[in-house]
Every structure is written in C-alpha cells, then in structure tokens.
Amino acid sequence: MLLDESLPEELVAAGSDDVSFGRWQGQSTSDAEFIRVAAEQGYDGVVFLGPSVLARPHVLQAAADVSLLVVATSADDPTDAQRDLSKHLRRLTAASRARPLLVLSHEVRAVPADSD
C-alpha cells in the first residue's frame, strides 16, 4: 500500500508478510494523482491520513477505476494513525477490497456505499 506523505516514514517498516508499505514522496499533488501513481507502481491500495477523503466521491471513484483499495485513518494525528494502522495490519489483509476502509483505534470498518 502506498502511504500518503502525511503519514510517518517509520510506518514503512511496520509492514508484515501480507502488507507492505511504500511512502509517497510527490509533494503538492492531488489525491487523484496519488492514486494514479500508486496504480502505475503496482500498489494494491492507498492509505490517507484522516477520514476526510471518504467524503470525496471523486477520489473514491478514481481509486475504483483502477481497482485500488482506499484506507483512511480515523485519527488526524500521524502518530495515532501509525499506531492504529500497525495494530490492525492483519485486519487490513482480511478485509474485502470492494469498499473503502476506515481504520479506528479499536477496529477496521468497511465504509458503506453512498446512498445517493
């Protein structure tokens, strides 16, 4: 999974046999560009700091168009987000790739499809 540049570099080392992380170094780039690069580089998903990305349908659609999983942390603080992601690595690999995921301190939740 490709990490948003807002997430700590140390998280790259927190991967497991099933989940590995790379860190995005492209500064001042749109979320859609971040997703495009992740797909081109062969990542299975992208990880965003904070849940606000889940409220942007164009970002979720861009990820769906290239079959990437979107993971967002509920924590806006990078240190808290790193702790939560590290704690739930196994759940990230077991989760369905069909819907975006929200990583909370105590669980990983699939985000329901928009009801519009």
Identify which of 103, 97, 108, 82 has the alpha carbon closest to the alpha carbon of residue 12.
82
At 94-106, the pLDDT tens digits run: 765 667 888 888 8
Amino acid at 70: V
Residue 66: pLDDT over 90? yes
Parse the chain into domains and list their residue ranges: 2-110
Question: Per-residue pLDDT for 24 more than 90?
Answer: no
Q: Is the pTM of this model over 0.85?
A: yes
Whether residue 115 is predicted with pLDDT greater than 90 in this model: the reply is: no
Give the long-range contacts of residues 87-91, CB within 8 A, separation 24 or more: 89/14, 89/15, 89/16, 89/18, 89/19, 90/16, 90/18
Radius of gyration of the chain (CA): 13
Contact 49, 64 (CB under 8 A): no
Smallest CA-to-CA distance from 102 within 36, 53, 39 is with 53
